[in-house]
Amino acid sequence: MGAKKVWIVGARETCDIVVDQPTVSGEHCRLEFDEGRVFIEDLQSTNGTFVNGERIFKRKQIHPDALVTLGKSVTMPMPSQLTAPAPAPKRSPTPTPAPPVDAPFEDEPGFPLHLLIGSGVAAAVLLLLVVIAIIFWGGGADTQTPNANDPATSASSDNENHNTAAAPKAKSSPSPSPSEAVKNQAVVDHPEDAIHVIAVANADQSQVFRIGTGVAVGPHTIVTSSTVHMVQELLSKKYPQVILLGKPALTIEEFTPHPTYVASFQEAEEAKGKFDQIYSQVETTDLSELPDELAQALEEAYRHYMVIAEKPSHYDVAVIRVTESIPFWLPIANSAALMPRERLTLLGHGYDRLAPYYAADSPLPISDAIIRVQNSSGVAGDTKNARLVVAKFDAPDQTKLHLDTNWNGSPLLNSQGELVGIYSRATPEIKLGAPPTGETFDATVLVDVLPFVRQFTNN
């Protein structure tokens, strides 16, 4: 017989799980763990309790990994034992290293998730942070098993060249020496040499979690997405170090997001706050039950919010400056037409979102995928209205894996091996409540934000 455990969740300090947010009631909900089953019950809170977007009005059994929100936008941390696939077995008598002092413990939420997902601006960011938090709740790095063979790390098929390799293409010739790379200012033949994996770590680097991909564009400059920077900032309290994995070892001097991304992200947060005010008055998630006028007003408010929330992805670029010289980098294209059906290559460390933990000296395979431009918005060369390009994977298997794969910050290359864009997010659905399908993704057009990048590199 398994022991029953009950947690009271709310803003009051006496709660078992304290979520100090203005929209959270003093005692907001009750969470129960009984005989391997998980139940949740709203305690007549002001803004309601939601499970996977659906408001609950009575005690409900839920999956341990369900997304529970207190109100519409504050995500509830789960105790670590609830996210385990089965009740934790007794520890082996074999001695194991003690966990770091900052590692999450069984009865302590490993990460303040409500601080991470309150924004909800980009569905891709939300998905990434949910997964990272689930892993944190499940215990420290000592409970994680690195996945060196992530399903998303295999290269996609190239329909034009009939390349069906299931892994990054093997190099057919030696890579150029560092001196040759500096002279040529590019690694067109082996672009994977310019890819770097970005991670966060605790103070002694005993716990390391991957958060995205970066690409070198100069001897001391790496470009990634501002989304990756945002994740790093959100994790910085518990995981203060941001590092580059692999060799050569590189020391990060500064990590700078695009200022328009930062400003527009804040605008999107304000727009979401206004939408939440309307949404909080709705007692059901079934729009068919609402009066036509209210349902239409709600849909229009959501569309307005989504339009504003798109702007950060037009400027989703960040720059990392490193102390040491980078031996290989890629050239940035001077122009990019990005016409519909144009063929590009997405290149990066596309790892499984469910396995961000990184064990020391594990392989860091680089994957590529053929993608096709679908459409774009914005104006070419206009820094005040930079383009966002919507692209689609050429291979159906890559589309299926898309939402399970972290491509954040990965570069898009043209047929000349030049950098034209940076992966931003899975394209969200405009319809209220609809999750992203993974059919397409949004990318920032690098040439349109080049003045920002040029501040950090001379190439």
Q: Of 267, 295, 314, which one is at a domain's C-terminal end?
A: 314
Distance of CA 5 to the CA centre of its chain: 32
* pLDDT band at residue 287 under the 50/70/90 scheme: low
Task: Name the amino acid, one letter, at 292.
Answer: D
Q: What is the domain-level CATH number for residue 378?
A: 2.40.10.120
Note whether 134 and 166 are same-domain residues. no
Q: How many domains are there within the chain?
A: 3
How many angstroms separate the CA atoms of 51 and 43, rounded? Answer: 14
For 155-170, write each residue's pLDDT tens digit.
333 333 333 333 333 3
* Rg, the chain, Cα only: 23
CA neighbor of 393 nearest in space, from 385, 380, 377, 404: 404
Note whether 82 and 165 are same-domain residues. no
Note whether 50 and 121 are same-domain residues. yes
Q: Of 139, 167, 193, which one is at a domain's C-terminal end?
A: 139
CA atoms within 13 A on the CB side of 212: 30
pLDDT at 152 over 50: no
Note whether 331 and 282 are same-domain residues. no
Q: What is the domain-level CATH number for residue 39?
A: 2.60.200.20
Task: Name the amino acid, one letter, at 402.
Answer: H
Contacts with 204 (C-beta within 8 Å, 6 or more apart), sequence order? 100
In the chain, the percentage of residues whose pLDDT exceeds 70 is: 72
Cα dihedral across residues 434, 346, 419, 212: positive or negative:
positive
For 224-248, write each residue's pLDDT tens digit.
999 999 989 888 888 999 999 988 8
CA distances from 145 to 150, 211, 244, 401, 456 (A): 12, 17, 20, 20, 37
For 378-424, write each residue's pLDDT tens digit.
999 888 999 999 999 999 888 889 988 999 999 999 999 999 999 99
Residues 95, 320: contact at Cβ < 8 Å? no
Between 272 and 458, name the one with better pLDDT. Answer: 272
Task: Name the amino acid, one letter, at 274.
Answer: K
Predicted confidence at residue 30, as pLDDT, reads: 94
**How is the beta sheet containing 54-55 ordered, strand by strand?**
54-55, 49-51, 68-70, 74-75
pLDDT at 433 over 80: no
Note whether 86 and 227 are same-domain residues. no
How many angstroms separate the CA atoms of 90 and 445, rounded? Answer: 52
Note whether 359 and 277 are same-domain residues. no
Residues 73, 118: contact at Cβ < 8 Å? yes
Note whether 184 and 88 are same-domain residues. no
Q: Across all residues in the chain, what is the average pLDDT? A: 77
Least confident of 95-104, 187-196, 250-259, 398-407: 95-104
Q: Angle, to 10 degrees, between the axis of helix 292-314 and the axis of helix 259-279?
A: 170
Note whether 34 and 130 are same-domain residues. yes
